[in-house]
Amino acid sequence: MIIAPASGELASGLFGCGRMEEPDIIYNIIEKYFKTRDDFCGKSILVTAGPTYENIDPVRFIGNHSSGLMGFSIAEEFANRGANVHLISGPSQLSTNNPSISCTKVTSAKEMHDCCLDLFPKTDITIMAAAVSDYAPITINKQKIKKSNSDLSLKLKPTIDILAELGKRKSNSQFLAGFALETENEVVNAQKKIIQKKLNLILLNSLNDHGAGFAVTTNKITAIDQEGNITKFDLKSKNEVAKDIADLIKQMIEKHSFVKNV
């Protein structure tokens, strides 16, 4: 925890940033910090992160630009608030040393699907932040495809919709949240997903928002719950977005607004 210096008159007589924060503000920050340490104590949390890679041949794949930072930030935030977190990550350069986080590395959508279905029955809260590939090649070549003068055509098949599968299996005591990355009709499309996939909460990203999406350290989300309530957040670092998500889920659980068949 870092308490940043305040702005005001300095010992030198100048004005600027560098003044010690007021004692009451320091006290409030420390009090809030320790109060949140036990927000999710005893809870089992499942988080997915990163992309999936769907192999074409031994050296090529279909994937996306997800770094996994959003999912890792969420896992760290819940672990810091007392939860036992199982993080399932697709290919990513990120790692965690947090003792409250168990991390399973996977590559394909099928591997992530199988791992999620294995862990899901034992979890209280699941947050699906991974950018899972929607399609995979029907045939994976065992040898590298040689470049030639002719066009290369790939036949693709849809991957399993992991979020929808978990929605079918969700009990009334489980909380399920997913992310939706949209480029048009963002809110309408997200609202459809929350119904179709039986979610408690959907977190909408729009690629039309500067600073949101893949391969950046910031994000901008709009949270939509199963009752249609919409909460918009400002552009923030992904660590701060993770805090907002944890705060919102805590509020929903405390109100028991998620305990219903959706």
- Cβ proximity of 210 and 225 under 8 Å: no
Residue 206 C-alpha from the chain's centroid? 14
- 234-255 as b/e, with b when 16 or more CB fall inside 10 Å? eebebbbbbbbbbebbeebbee
Q: How many helices (H) does the chain have, and how many strands (E)? A: 6, 16
CB neighbourhood size of 226 (10 A): 19
Q: What is the dihedral of CA 121, 126, 129, 134, to 10 degrees?
A: 40
Nearest to 213 by CA among 21, 104, 64, 3: 64
Look up 261 and say whether it is catalytic: no
Over the Cα atoms of the chain, what is R_g?
21
- 198: tokens are 């039986």
Task: Round to whole Å and give the CA distance between 143 and 124.
Answer: 43
Nearest to 100 by CA among 117, 120, 78, 115: 78
Catalytic site residue from 64, 84, 98, 189: 64
CB neighbourhood size of 200 (10 A): 25
Helix H or strand E segment including 25:
helix 23-36
Q: 85 phi and psi, to 5 degrees?
A: -110, 135
Provide the annotated active-site residues.
64
